[in-house]
């Protein structure tokens, strides 16, 4: 098993445990989407805002029945401009 595969197994186990503890459906956790979003925020705006952005997306998804995660992510990503662009 590769290091990445071992890490992903460990991540999956933690996701299951965390979701069970909070009574959340673990199948709704899309690690690739979350990593993609946080990478975009970290590099396109500011690294400390990456987890904050993921939290904001989570609030948006959790607050809407049948939420379209992709559409909400696109709206959130449309706000990523400014800091690094202003410094350039």
Checking if the pLDDT of 1 tops 90, the result is: no
Tokens of 64: 């809407």
Phi, psi of 74 (to 5 degrees): -60, -40
Q: What is the mean pLDDT of the chain?
A: 91
Encode pLDDT of 38-63 as tens digits. Answer: 999 999 999 999 999 999 999 999 98
Written as six digits, the tokens of 48 are 């400390």
- The answer, yes or no, to whether residue 78 has pLDDT greater than 80, is yes
Going by C-alpha positions, the residue among 74, 68, 25 that lies closest to residue 53 is 74
Q: Nearest-5° angle of CA 74, CA 59, CA 42?
A: 55
For residue 84, pLDDT beyond 60: no
């Amino acid at each position: 098993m590769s290091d990445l595969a071992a890490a992903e197994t460990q991540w999956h186990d933690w996701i299951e445990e965390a979701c069970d503890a909070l009574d959340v459906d673990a199948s709704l956790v899309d690690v690739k989407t979350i990593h993609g979003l946080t990478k975009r925020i970290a590099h396109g705006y500011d690294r400390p805002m990456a987890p904050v952005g993921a939290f904001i997306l989570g609030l948006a998804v959790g607050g809407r029945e049948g939420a379209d995660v992709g559409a909400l992510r696109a709206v959130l990503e449309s706000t990523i401009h400014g800091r690094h662009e202003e410094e350039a």
